[in-house]
A and B are shown apart, each in its own frame.
Chain A
Amino acid sequence: MMARARLAAALIPATAILSCLRTESWDPCVQVVPNISYQCMELNLYKIPDNIPISTKMLDLSFNYLRHLGSHNFSSFPELQVLDLSRCEIKIIEDDTFQGLNHLSTLILTGNPIQSLAWGAFSGLSSLQKLVAVETNLVSLNDFPIGHLKNLKELNVAHNFIHSFKLPEYFSNLPNLEHLDLSNNKIQNIYYEDVKVLHQMPLLNLSLDLSLNPLDFIEPGTFKEIKLNGLTLRSNFNSSHVMKTCIQGLAGLKTNRLVLGEFKNERKLQRFDRSFLEGLCNLTIEQFRIAYLDKFSGDDTDLFNCLANVSVISLLSISLGSLQALLKDFRWQHLEIINCDFDKFPALKLSSLKKFVFTDNKDISTFTEFQLPSLQYLDLKRNHLSFKGCCSHTDFGTTNLKHLDLSFNDVITLGSNFMGLEQLEHLDFQHSTLKQINAFSAFLSLRNLRYLDISYTNIRIVFHGIFTGLVSLQTLKMAGNSFQNNLLPDIFTELTNLTVLDLSKCQLEQVAQTAFHSLSSLQVLNMSHNKLLSLDTFLYEPLHSLRILDCSFNRIMASKEQELQNLPRSLTWLNLTQNAFACVCEHQSFLQWVKDQRQLLVGAEQMMCAEPLDMEDMPVLSFRNATCQLSKTIISVSVVTVLLVSVVGVLVYKFYFHLMLLAGCKKYGRGESIYDAFVIYSSQDEDWVRNELVKNLEEGVPPFQLCLHYRDFIPGVAIAANIIQEGFHKSRKVIVVVSQHFIQSRWCIFEYEIAQTWQFLSSRAGIIFIVLQKLEKSLLRQQVELYRLLSRNTYLEWEDSVLGRHVFWRRLRKALLAGKPQSPEGTADAETNPQEATTST
């Protein structure tokens, strides 16, 4: 252990230096309210920071190291009203420390090991109302220099080492003193002399707390004729005998409230019997409270006899053996029985009882009727009660009931519709199991009811008349239940005065469009923790007074833009956090609305996207409209590109042959050929050849050179020689214009046959057939060879329509271009590779 300590000692200075590196700051305090309130708790301060404004009214310097308070220590803060100096290791408070703090009303010195407190320490605190000096090593009230604090209302000197209850003379200077907390001190004896000052100067409003003092003796007569507002004596007595004699010592005391008993964690008494309370007969008490006394022994029938005239009586965790003590008709008006281990419900007969609180008594399982004719307030929460046929006036024996709390119990079956309980204003069933709520309009007669809580009562609402009759209802809490088909139907029609409605955790998926139509007074609506898919603002449009709307923890993806205008204008608080927002461009306007309404939307920063995947768990506020603009750009760019491409395509198509020419056909030569094609046609078709074929091919792009007999044949040479020399020899291709006349013409057939032979011999020029008109099959059959060829080969058919001509000329041009040698080298290639040259025909 020593070695470790040494290691610690070695490490300490290093760490201290390290840790000091970053603490230098001139403004370490938290500004709670600018210029008014500053919080400097636990900041390692050795003095008050320089930059606290002079106007500061509340200053929290707790958990620092002020250690020594000198005179006029706080004079720079003349406006101070609250000064918290808890745990500041203050050992010395000099004279005039608080001088100048004329407005200070609260001074807290908790947890300071004060060793030296000067006589003038508190001088100047003319307005001080509350002085807290808990755990300050205080030994005696006599030495405490507070005699001049005329306005003092509360003096808390608990948990000190005060041995004497002697109230010093200066108490006569403290006429406003209301609370004196002397609990957890060392006071053992109380003598007549100690309270002499109270005889001289009665402090009627004084409440005195002496709990946790080891009281041994109270001199009889000490409190005779003394009036106090309250006296608390909890966990004071070491034995039942001491308790008994001390209570007898209180004889003559008149007090508004007397609290006796123990704390759950400070139990000293082993046994408890009725003689404890016998001494109370000599006291005048209005309110009596007793807590944590158990193991009652003996007959308790007369236990409360001395308390017959008390108006308020509270029993907390008192183990009474039987109920006999409670079954008399005392004049009690309020009775509280909390956690008292009764095994039966007491059949009370207290005719004047107005308020009855009977809670946390876990052993009771069935409700039994009682007769309390004056009862107005009944609280039966947190028992294990089951209640059959709730509720009517016969159950409680009263028709005056205004407040009924049956929450946190077992099964409550609604059997009658609150007959005779029309005065009810407050009804609470939460966390009990409600049965038969769908059977009839159970609340029909409760026209005065203002508050109804049926939260978590395991009900499934089917019956639409469930809330019929509740015309005065202002608050309706029904969280944690469910509805048929998870649809909120039109059930609030009569609740025109409703201001608060809680529908959270109701598994709602849909809401009827008219559900909220009559709720024009509604101010607070909680729809959180449901399964709503969108923010349907049309629903909330009729809620003209709505201020707070909570739609958090739903599955809302977005809302439509035009709908957002429908939100009530009065709305000041809207919670949409924990939903499944879709941060996509489709909802861009909603997302923009979220950004614009940051004031209205609570926790807008915590609103997270659920989709798309790349935005998952990102704040909605981080959604950038630019993303959508970007995609717009992308869309427009692509549209333009497609357009351009198609235009280019069209252009390329249109100017295909121009391009071919441009791209490479310049180099094209016809090689040894002069003509691109030799045209074989019947003279009957010459018109078509001249007007169509020649015009289109020779004047079009690319320009082809045709070999035409009427133009290119050399005169004076035999026709056959011309056909061979000029026609086939000098042409790359042969165009055969097949028509009726062609078949009939001898020359044409001759030319065609030569062409075929030529093609066969040179294997160079392809034959392109153009069929000008439909041919009669019988005629065609005469030319067996031609017929066979036309039926096996592709040929061009002339069609006299715009599209047909277009297609025709393109095909023809292509056919003519095919096999055209591309370059001088290409020509050679073409010659050595005749197969290639003929492929396209």
Chain B
Amino acid sequence: MSLLDKGGGSTWTTLFIGPCYRAGHTQGLRAMKGFAAALLIWTLLSPRRAGGEAWPTHTACRNGNLQVLYQSCADSVDVCLATEKAVLQSSGSSPDPLQDFGFSVDQCARQLKPNINIRFGMVLREDIEQLFLDVALFSKGLSILNFSYPVCEVDLPKFSFCGRRKGEQIYYAGPINNPGFEIPEGDYQVLLELYNQDHATVACANATVLYS
């Protein structure tokens, strides 16, 4: 199942970040070919790639004065190889965009509604018998908020993707348990990290929220 072919009529903001995503035999992403190619060019031309190490920064959402930028902070992937892989895939039968996970959010407003809907999909590179989400919010280098949320626990897992192993695809579409609030003026950095029982990073993103 593709990450994005359930778009419906709503205005989803789509993000692709990180290393190669490979759905292998799945068929759904074929529709993404054009988008993938555009994204590929964009990523290839991105000046940061010349440096080799960092993932490209994506604009997650832009709405008036509000802007959310995004970058994968997964560290273990060789960008050069990822590029090659993307090249091979986009020229082959199953084109995939350059990313290590796919993520989309259904709104981009200053007034954040409670329980916003997200869609998240990735191919696991680690087992997730247990899965934890760490969120750290910084402003001007100072830590404002830190919390850890257990997504998957061993006993009676909450979500259907819990317990999946390396190589499996996971997909989540639904609300996240966030409170509604108004984003105050300022620049914020949000570090989101998903890690498993061995503390290995499953997915990681560095977001910057600019609201002026």
A interface with B by C-beta (< 8 Å): 1-2, 4-5, 7-9, 11-12, 15-16, 19-20, 22-23, 41-44, 62-63, 84, 86-87, 89, 108, 110-113, 132, 134-135, 137, 159, 184, 211-212, 234-235, 259, 263-266, 289, 291-292, 314, 316-317, 338
Q: Which residues from A are CB-within-8-Å of B85?
A: 44
- Per-residue contact bits, chain B 155-177, to A (CB 8 Å; 1 contact, 0 not): 11111110001111100111000
Contacts of A2 in B (CB 8 A): 34
Name the one of A22, A44, A84 contacting B166, with C-beta atoms under 8 angstroms. A84
Residue B110 interfacial (CB < 8 Å): no
Q: Would you call B66 an interface residue if the criterion is a C-beta within 8 Å of the partner chain's C-beta atoms?
A: no
User: 4 closest pairs, A vs B, by CB?
Assistant: A86-B167, A113-B25, A110-B167, A8-B37
**Contact for A111 among B38, B90, B161, B168, CB less than 8 A:** B168
Residues of chain A within 8 A of B144, CB atoms compared: none
* A residues near B84, Cβ cutoff 8 Å: 15-16, 19-20, 23, 44
List which B105-120 residues lie within 8 A (CB) of chain A: none
Q: In whole angstroms, how far apart are the Cα atoms of A62 and B126 in the complex? A: 11
Contact of A8 among B22, B38, B167 (CB under 8 A): B38
- The answer to whether A87 and B123 touch (CB under 8 A), given A23-B80, A132-B165, is yes
CA distance A775 to B167 in the complex (A): 117
**Contact (Cβ within 8 A) B90 A12:** yes
CA distance A131 to B165 in the complex (A): 13
What is the CA–CA distance of A265 and B131 in the complex, to the nearest angstrom? Answer: 15
Taking a contact as CB atoms closer than 8 A, the residue among B25, B44, B172 that contacts A265 in the complex is B172
Q: Is the CB of A266 within 8 A of B160?
A: yes
Is B203 at the interface (CB under 8 A from chain A)?
Answer: no
* Complex contacts, A111 vs chain B, CB 8 Å: 24, 123, 167-169
Q: Is the CB of A11 within 8 A of B167?
A: no
Chain A: which residue is nearest B49 at the CB level? A15
Cross-chain contact B156 with A316 (CB below 8 angstroms): yes
Min Cβ gap B125→A in Å is 7
Q: Is B40 an interface residue (CB 8 A)?
A: yes
Q: What chain B residues lie within 8 Å of A12 (beta carbons)?
A: 40, 87, 90-91
Q: Can you list 11 residue pairs at the A/B interface with Cβ under 8 Å? A: A1-B37, A4-B34, A7-B41, A23-B81, A44-B81, A87-B167, A112-B25, A212-B160, A264-B159, A265-B160, A266-B160
- Confirm or deny: B200 has a beta carbon within 8 angstroms of a beta carbon on chain A: no
Residue of A nearest to B76 (CB): A42
Known pairs A11-B44, A12-B91; list 10 more (Cβ under 8 Å): A8-B90, A12-B87, A16-B88, A44-B81, A44-B84, A87-B167, A89-B24, A110-B167, A159-B168, A265-B159
Cα(A15)–Cα(B168), bound, Å:
29
A residues in contact with B91, CB < 8 Å: 9, 12
Docked complex Cα distance between A113 and B81 (Å): 22
Taking a contact as CB atoms under 8 Å apart, the answer to whether B41 and A4 are in contact is yes
Given contacts A15-B44, A84-B166, A86-B166, contact A137 B90 (CB under 8 A): no
> Is A264 within 8 A of B158, CB to CB?
yes
Interface size on B, residues (CB 8 A): 39
Within 8 Å by CB of A16, from B22, B24, B33, B87, lies B87
Chain A residue nearest in CB terms to B161: A265
Q: A288 CA to B167 CA in the complex, in Å?
A: 31
Bound Cα distance A135, B22 (Å): 13
CB proximity to A under 8 Å, residues B74-102: 77-78, 80-81, 83-85, 87-88, 90-91
How distant is B56 from chain A, measured CB to nearest CB, in Å? 14
Q: Are B167 and A19 in contact (CB under 8 A)?
A: no
Q: Which residues of A contact B160 (CB under 8 A)?
A: 184, 211-212, 234-235, 263, 265-266
Report A-chain residues with C-beta under 8 Å of the C-beta of B169.
111, 135, 159
Residues of A within 8 A of B159 (CB): 263-265
Tell me the nearest residue of chain A to B88, going by C-beta. A16
Number of A-B contacts (CB under 8 A): 126
A134→B161 CA distance, assembly (Å): 13
Give the complex CA separation of A633 and B87 in angstroms: 62
Partner of B125, one of A63, A137, A291, A314: A63
Write the chain A residue with the least CB distance to B45.
A11
CB pair A110 B168 closer than 8 Å: yes
By beta carbon, the residue of chain B nearest A90 is B24
Cα(A289)–Cα(B158), bound, Å: 13
A8 with B81: CB separation less than 8 A: no
| Neighbouring A residues of B165 by C-beta, 8 Å | 86, 108, 110, 132, 134
Report the bound CA distance from A42 to B81 in whole Å.
9
- Whether A135 and B81, one on each chain, are in contact in the complex, defined by CB atoms closer than 8 angstroms, is no
Residues of A within 8 A of B88 (CB): 16
Chain B residue contacts of A234, Cβ below 8 A: 160
Within the complex, the shortest CB–CB distance from A316 to chain B, in Å, comes to: 5
Which residues of chain B are within 8 angstroms of A317 by Cβ–Cβ distance? 158
Distance, CA A635 to CA B80, complexed state (A): 55
Chain B residues with CB under 8 A of A43 = 81
Report whether A62 and B166 are in contact in the complex, using a CB–CB cutoff of 8 Å.
yes
- Are A137 and B34 neighbours in the complex by a CB distance under 8 Å? no
The closest CB in chain B to the CB of A89 belongs to B24
What is the CA–CA distance of A1 and B95 in the complex, to the nearest angstrom? 15
**Cα distance A694–B156 in the bound complex, in angstroms:** 119
Pairwise interchain contact B22-A15, C-beta atoms closer than 8 A:
no
Q: In the complex, which residues of chain B have a beta carbon less than 8 angstroms from the beta carbon of A4?
A: 34, 37-38, 41
Check A134/B167 contact, CB under 8 A, given A12-B91, A15-B87, A63-B125: yes
Decide if B83 touches A19 in the complex (CB within 8 Å).
Answer: yes
How far, in whole Å, are A19 and B81 apart by their CA atoms in the complex? 7
Q: How many Å from the CB of A13 to the closest CB on chain B? A: 8
Checking A19, A135, A184 against B87 with a beta-carbon cut-off of 8 angstroms, the contacting residue is: A19
Nearest to B85 among chain A residues (CB) is A44
Q: Which of B80, B87, B157, B158 is A22 in contact with, Cβ under 8 Å?
A: B80
> Does the CB pair A135–B33 fall under 8 Å?
no
Set A44, A63, A110, A314: member contacting B156, Cβ < 8 A: A314
In the complex the two chains form, is A8's CB within 8 Å of B41's CB? yes
Give the contacts of B170-200 with A (CB-CB under 8 A).
172-174
Kindly state the separation between the CA atoms of A291 and B162 in the bound complex, as whole angstroms: 14
The answer to whether B167 and A108 have CB atoms under 8 Å apart is yes
**A212 closest partner in B (C-beta):** B160
In the bound complex, residues from chain A placing their C-beta under 8 Å from that of B90 are 8, 12
A84 to B165 CA separation, bound complex (whole angstroms): 11
Complex interface residues of chain B between 3 and 60 (CB less than 8 A to chain A): 22, 24-25, 33-35, 37-38, 40-41, 44
**List of B residues within 8 angstroms of A137 by Cβ:** 25
Contact B125 A113 (CB under 8 A): no
Q: How far is the CA of A455 from the CA of B123 in the complex (A)?
A: 38
Query: Shortest beta-carbon distance, A188 to chain B, in Å?
Result: 18
User: What are the residues of chain B within 8 A of A289 when measuring CB–CB?
Assistant: 156
A42 with B77: CB separation less than 8 A: yes
Give the residues in chain B near A113, CB-CB below 8 Å.
24-25
Report A286 CB to chain B, min CB distance, Å. 16
Provide the bound-state CA to CA distance between A159 and B38, in Å: 31
Residues of B within 8 A of A8 (CB): 37-38, 40-41, 90
A23's nearest neighbour on chain B, judged by CB, is B81
- Which of A89, A108, A211, A265 has the largest count of B CB atoms less than 10 A from its CB? A265
Specify which chain B residues have a CB less than 8 angstroms from the CB of A265 in the assembled complex. Answer: 159-161, 172-174
Tell me if B34 and A135 are in contact (CB < 8 A).
no
**A338 to B37 alpha-carbon distance, docked (Å):** 47
> Nearest chain-A residue to B81 (Cβ)?
A44
Nearest-neighbor residue (CB-CB) of B174 within chain A? A265
Q: Which residues of A contact B123 (CB under 8 A)?
A: 87, 111
| Known contacts A8-B38, A42-B77, A62-B166; A291 and B156 CB within 8 A of each other | yes
Which chain B residues lie closer than 8 Å to A63 at the CB level? 22, 125, 167
Out of B34, B83, B87, B167, which one reaches A5, CB within 8 Å? B34
Contacts of A264 in B (CB 8 A): 158-159, 174
Q: Report how far A15 CA is from B38 CA in the complex, Å.
A: 15
